[in-house]
Copies of this chain bind each other. A is one copy, B any other.
Amino acid sequence: MGGFHEGHLQLMRTARTECDRVVVSLFVNPTQFGEGEDFERYPRDLDRDAGLAESVGVDVLFAPTVEEIYPRPGSTIHVPVVSKLWEGAHRPGHFEGVATVVCKLFNMVRPEVAYFGLKDLQQCLVITRMVEDLNIPIRLSLQPTVRESDGLALSSRNAYLTKEERSLAPSLYKHLTACKDLLKASKLTHDEVDEALKHAKFQLEDEGFRADYFELIDLESAHSIRSIAMPCAIIAAAKLGKTRLIDNVVV
């Protein structure tokens, strides 16, 4: 969606080292924004983004207009279960918009490999599921979240934070890693896991966040779980002022 930061550039550099041709799509997709979300004020600076993409060796910057992508209301893709939880519950229709536009971009660009950042973990799960379900002949490469030195996950939306909010923001990641360390250090009961997650959420609230969720999920279904037997992650979403931050750690 543009507003390129080091997280995006790292994806591009990785693709550059692994692929013959690198195409970057830049499209602020209206269908994945809900009512009252930041579609209008989302950072847009095509010249800056084009310069950054070029600087890391991208071959093609594909920046279609809304009219090119959506000449009229069209077909949509519904990814079950994982689309409806967490971010999907908080942002109805969001992952339907994501899945549909990603499918369209895949068909337009026809990459062999597509790179996504794990910062948007649930988005990665939705796209993984869509690719499997619809037999889309593309390999997904999910790349680690790039962070500021204080741990804050890079995001275009960080630009919305006030100075005070920015100083608080890294706490989200601190609680995620602390909770992960706790879960991995000792074999907790289901009740203790539940308690640890609730405690972290409470602490965030205490520090001035408004936490939407702080959850342990399995990486297949995105369902909430209470033990780390299977591949899983801790995911969190919390608001600081008007800005909603999401982050996660894979356990």
A contacts, CB < 8 Å to B:
73-80, 99-100, 103-104, 107-108, 110, 129-130, 132-137
| Given A103-B134, A135-B104, A136-B107, A78 contacting B76 (CB threshold 8 A) | yes
Contact B75 A107 (CB under 8 A): no
Min CB distance A111 to B, Å, is 12
Name 23 A/B residue pairs within 8 A (Cβ), A-sorted. A73-B80, A74-B80, A74-B134, A75-B77, A75-B78, A75-B79, A75-B129, A75-B130, A75-B134, A76-B77, A76-B78, A76-B80, A77-B77, A77-B78, A77-B134, A78-B78, A100-B134, A103-B134, A104-B134, A107-B134, A107-B136, A108-B135, A110-B137
Do residues A133 and B77 form an inter-chain contact, with CB atoms below 8 A?
no
- Stoichiometry, copies per complex: 2
Q: Which residues of B contact A75 (CB under 8 A)?
A: 77-80, 99, 129-130, 133-134
